[in-house]
Amino acid sequence: MRISVPKEIKKHEYRVSMTPDAVAECVAFDHEVWVETLAGEGVGFDDADYIEAGAKIAGSASETFDKGELIVKVKEPQLHECAMLRPDQTLFTYLHLAADKPQAEALCKSGCIAIAYETVTDRFGRLPLLSPMSEVAGRMSVQVGAAALERHNGGRGLLLGGVPGVLPAKVVILGGGVSGTHAAQMAIGMRADVTLFDISDKRLDELDQIYGGRLKTAYSTRSAVAKAVMEADLIIGAVLIPGAVAPKLVTADMVKTMQPGAVLVDIAIDQGGCFETSRPTTHDEPTFIVDGIVHYCVANMPGAVARTSAMALGKATLPFIWRLAKGGIKDTLRDDPHLAAGLNVADGYIAYEPVARDLDMEFRTPDWL
């Protein structure tokens, strides 16, 4: 199969979807890999590294898209990239369509098959292609939140872990999944006062067993969250409904009750955000202030640590790329229910029901599935 790796073009997106090692593995199985020139420069891989791995170098984005049967990316395609896709091609990348109707419509118009990393499952019901970037975002959320708390950044002027004789900052984490758990690890390590909310008693019990008294756990109800929001110095939103719009757990009215200079970090911003006052930002201007509260809502957080992120994502996606390339796209999706769970667009329609519902678009399972 011909596999294409375009250069990422979203603002301050330096990751690359396949490392030279991943390319070499595909070439070893007689697949042809086209990599757009300079696609890996943001993470320290130059064209020579890809040539040595057996790739062919494409001189432009249009050539890269034209060559591939399977287009492997990191971030969702921009609208002019969607226009380069054809019905005989498959796109494999993060899509986050539930918060992006123009992209969804453009992908439907292209006629391509689009498989979203974030809804591919494994045999345990987990999200193996979302997990690596959730880990990164969870860990990053604490360090960016700590920086935003500094006075010159608009924050309360607090050190996350305090010092002897001075209380540490209060950190509230909404969601006990992958990103929330990694955020808790980092916040505890920095000696903050950490409380994590979730709606799963089982998950709260697991986290209590792991962290004991170092982590406070609480069942998530509107009133409990509202009270915690009033007292928090840093709130990390880490909720996830696979493929669907994130629930708004912190309302605009709740934000008004927070202490001036407190910080909100919205990991769920790719899915629309879990704070009512959130809006997507970039690494250029990562924060904004609403009612005296600092909001960090960067939609591609892991792009800031691009090399770590690219290597973590590459090792997770490679087995799935192998399967798609070896077995053929439609046959593999028919035979593999976990990859089929990632199917979001096919034959001009939305093929993932939560996305269709959130966007008020027609849902249709393709006849060949």
CA distance 270 to 286: 14
Strand bridging mode 234-237 / 263-266: parallel
Strand bridging mode 287-290 / 293-296: antiparallel
CA angle, 186 then 188 then 190, to 5°: 70
Q: What share of the chain is helix, strand, coil (3-state, %, to 5)?
A: 45, 20, 40
CA distance 13 to 75: 8
Tokens of 258: 């927070």
Instruction: Please give the positions annotated as active site.
Output: 96, 270
Phi, then psi, of 318 in degrees rounded to 5: -55, -45
Q: With beta carbons less than 8 A apart as the criterion, state whether 255 and 293 touch.
A: yes
For residue 192, with 0-12 CB atoms within 10 Å meaning exposed, 13-18 middle and 19 or more buried, which class applies?
A: buried
Strand, helix or coil at 42?
helix
Q: In what order do the strands lie in the sheet with 70-72?
A: 56-58, 32-36, 2-5, 70-72, 90-93, 113-116, 343-346, 349-350
Candidates 235, 195, 233, 249; CA nearest to 217 is 195
Residue count of the chain, please give it.
Answer: 369
Q: Determine if residue 44 is left, alpha or beta; phi over 0 gives left, psi from -120 to 50 gives alpha, anything else beta.
A: left
CA 53 to chain centre: 28
